[in-house]
A and B are shown apart, each in its own frame.
Chain A
Amino acid sequence: MKEITYAQAICEALDEEMERDENIVMLGEDIGFIGGNFKTTVGLMEKYGDLRVKDTPISEQGFVGMGVGMALTGLRPVVELMFSDFLLVAADQVINQMAKIRYMSGGQANVPMTIRCPIGAGRSSAAQHSQSMQAMVAQFPGCKIVVPSTAQEAKGLLKTAIRDDDPVIFFEHKMEYNKKYQLDDIVEPIPLGKARIAREGKDITIVATSSMVMKSEEAAEKLAKEGIDCEVIDLRTIVPLDKETIIESVKKTGKLIVADEAHERCGIGAEIAAAVADDIFYYLDAPCGRVNNPNVPLPFSPALEFPLIPSADKVYEKVKTYFK
């Protein structure tokens, strides 16, 4: 057991995987000399050389496309986008190429590629650098979507993502990078598609992604003192979606809240609420609730930004509406 930051845990996962498999290469802006905008690749260029850890120009469409090409030739590229918002710059490469090639080639070619990118607001990064794109990309078939919670989870899931023979988009939360976590000395890869029950409870199910898991746990602590026993599910992956774990939990509690930092409209909360109503309508004891960013652009001004961000308090308040 050791105490390290979330960013260091990511770095460890990359390091251990590159050590293990020399076909793994990295592309991205400032990942080499600088060691990453969020310090997630510190020391990797020195260790593995500038052929395997490549600083790229500011051209997301270019280097994501490059990654797709490398993957087709048998390498395992891990491509970093400085902000998940830039997925839009590379949207054609991501959605039309990376995610489609296995299908379009009739299974003759596959793309063992991982895109890493940070999501989330809270740093005054303004409307174009604060978005959470996980629900948007989940709309398209062809790639897996990972939304890790803690440092330990991020490390284990990133290892699996890199080893996957198909494309994975791995969403790190930018407000987590500098947070300290307890980490096991050896972190095994965590399978994709199996959610984690972060806290067991019987009164209400909170399905959370990314940093919303920790915020939901914090809210659950407070609610427990008031006699409300929350079950917190760390979703881990949006694609594939572990419906089984969610449904087992909601069967027990009868109430569901989905906490995700992306905008509420057409989000993962709506998807899960619909899936639950489809499968276990007669187990629902209340409408499914959501905790999200509202449907407005995220402002630069901290005074305006913070009130919008879904917090532990917002999860707490939402749960309270079910127990009046």
Chain B
Amino acid sequence: MAEIIIMPKLGFNMNEGKLVQWYKNEGNTVSKGEPLFSVETDKTNMDIEATENGVVKKLLIREGDKIPVTLPIAVVGGADEDVSALIEDAIGQLSGGGAAPAAEEEPAAAPAEAKKAEAKPAAAPKTEGGRMKITPRARRVAAENGLSLEGIQIEGTGWDGGICEQDILDYLESTAIKATPVAQAMAKAEGIELETVTGTGINGKIMKEDVEKALAAKAKAPAAEAACTCQEGEKKFSPDGKEILEEVPYAGVRKVIGDRLSESKFTAPHLYFTQKVNLEKLLEIRKQVNGAQEKKTSVTDYIAKATIIALQKYPDMNASLVGETIVKYKSVNLGIAVASPTGLIVPNIKDSQNLSVVEISKASSPLFEKAREGKLAIDEYTGGTFTISNLGMFGIENFTAIINPPEVGILSISSTKDEPVVVTKEDGTKEIAIKPMMNIQVSVDHRIIDGLLAAQFVTEIKTLLENPISLLV
């Protein structure tokens, strides 16, 4: 049975593939499992194996050609099979002939998404010697409109079949989502993606009413997705008979927190290190500082300072994994987790690397206040480089935090409690004394932070906190 071989989609973000090499020529026999060709994706080269036995009847693209995924690249069939119809079909698909009838049947009120797809003919643009055939003017117009020509699918109608200015203008026109200014402003304010809205105006233009409809649908959606409940009088029951107290949509801030933390926990392999810190000296110094000035400092302010110093000493901890690159930051934007009415939020102190303890205290107090009132501005809770989370005030012995992505670490701070500890006196003898002790734990992303570094980092913080004079000089 003859079949069309297509350019495979080898990754979620792969839109086109480059044929690196044909392992078979036209007329060669190929067995199932034998490599047929090699494809270059944005990350790597991959060999693709034949899925059936047969003979290579036709190779439709050349080595080095780039072509959108799912388009035909070859026809394989039985040795004596007539595959001319299939080849014709494949060539038709390559030149975009197949797309037209479907487009004509599109209803007037098709979503913008569908219109977008229709605007792109399936055929790859003509090239000459591997270079896209496009006029200088078309290039300029594309650049002026921020249109990237990389892998673009436009049929050239200009000189010698090349892409001309009009082709670019038509493409821009066809891909632009048409919406009235009011609809655009509304969608922006409500955070609605225009791509998802169905336009009912002329030529599918998105009107104010369409955005309103989309808003209403969005509000309804969580309820519709909630577990099916069977009502019985005033009481609500789950399908398996449990009485329900309350149903709350998993949406908004709750969903953002949930999605981010699951992403963090599922993608970053977490690794944890705990240290016990003797706060005797720090509490004494804090008492003196607070006695000497108006602005009262908190334990958190000192821990923040110690963390900032440690981050500067170990900049690998003050980093993000961005795609394929580990980005280490010079700025320390220290995030401090706060419970807000809508849920957990982490405002951060921008460029905290040069701040003193008192300055940290002054910078963080208004952020905490705003967070508790739910009034933080976006830039006040985004752009952090490391987070500390202090639950000491709730008497927690020890806890483990999930990294706040895209950061690579988080420091959990538990409560300070008087504990019997073994202390070494000046003469070398040991005794048991009562000291204020606190657990701190660092969680790190093991993809880029190894255990030794994390251990050094958390120990550095412990050392700084136990010798607090270093935090003040």
Contacts and interface: CB of A to CB of B under 8 A. Distances in A.
Interface stretch (A192-200, A217-225, A267-275, A279-287): A279-287
A136 to B, nearest CB: 30
Interface in A299-324: 322
B158 A286 contact: yes
A112 interface: no
A254 interface: yes
Interface in A101-123: none
Give the contact-size bracket for chain B.
Answer: 10 to 19
A283 B136 contact: yes
A254 B159 contact: no
Contacts, number: 30
A254 B165 contact: yes
B456 interface: no
B265 interface: no
A197 to B, nearest CB: 21
B395 to A, nearest CB: 69
Interface stretch (B86-94, B137-145, B172-180, B323-331): B137-145
B164 interface: yes
A208 B301 CA distance: 80
B135 interface: yes
Contacts of B159: 285-287, 322
A50 to B, nearest CB: 59
Nearest to A289: B159
Nearest to A282: B140
- Report which residue of B139, B159, B164 has the largest number of chain A beta carbons within 10 angstroms of its beta carbon: B159
B158 A283 contact: no
Interface in B12-50: none
Interface in B123-143: 135-140
A170 to B, nearest CB: 36
A285 B139 contact: no
Contacts of B135: 254, 284-286
Nearest to B144: A282
- Report which residue of A254, A285, A322 has the largest number of chain B beta carbons within 10 angstroms of its beta carbon: A285
Interface string B144-183: 0000000000000011000011100000000000000000
Nearest to A251: B137
Nearest to A322: B159
A283 B165 CA distance: 9
A283 B139 CA distance: 9
Contacts of A283: 136-137, 140
B166 to A, nearest CB: 8
B433 to A, nearest CB: 80
Nearest to B135: A285
Interface in A217-273: 254
Nearest to B140: A282
A84 B14 CA distance: 66
A70 B166 CA distance: 58
Contacts of A285: 135-138, 158-159, 164-166
A287 B164 CA distance: 11
A286 B135 CA distance: 6
A285 B137 CA distance: 5
Interface in B102-140: 135-140
A285 B165 CA distance: 6
Contacts of A282: 136-137, 139-140
Interface string B191-234: 00000000000000000000000000000000000000000000
Contacts of B140: 282-283
B146 to A, nearest CB: 16
A71 to B, nearest CB: 46
A282 B142 CA distance: 11
A105 B463 CA distance: 92
Given A284-B136, A285-B138, 15 more contacts: A254-B137, A254-B165, A282-B139, A282-B140, A283-B136, A284-B137, A285-B135, A285-B136, A285-B158, A285-B159, A285-B166, A286-B135, A286-B158, A287-B159, A322-B159
* Across the A-B interface, the 10 shortest Cβ-Cβ residue pairs: A285-B137, A282-B140, A286-B159, A285-B135, A254-B137, A282-B136, A285-B165, A285-B164, A284-B136, A281-B136
Interface of A: 254, 281-287, 322
30 contacts: A254-B135, A254-B137, A254-B164, A254-B165, A281-B136, A282-B136, A282-B137, A282-B139, A282-B140, A283-B136, A283-B137, A283-B140, A284-B135, A284-B136, A284-B137, A285-B135, A285-B136, A285-B137, A285-B138, A285-B158, A285-B159, A285-B164, A285-B165, A285-B166, A286-B135, A286-B158, A286-B159, A286-B164, A287-B159, A322-B159
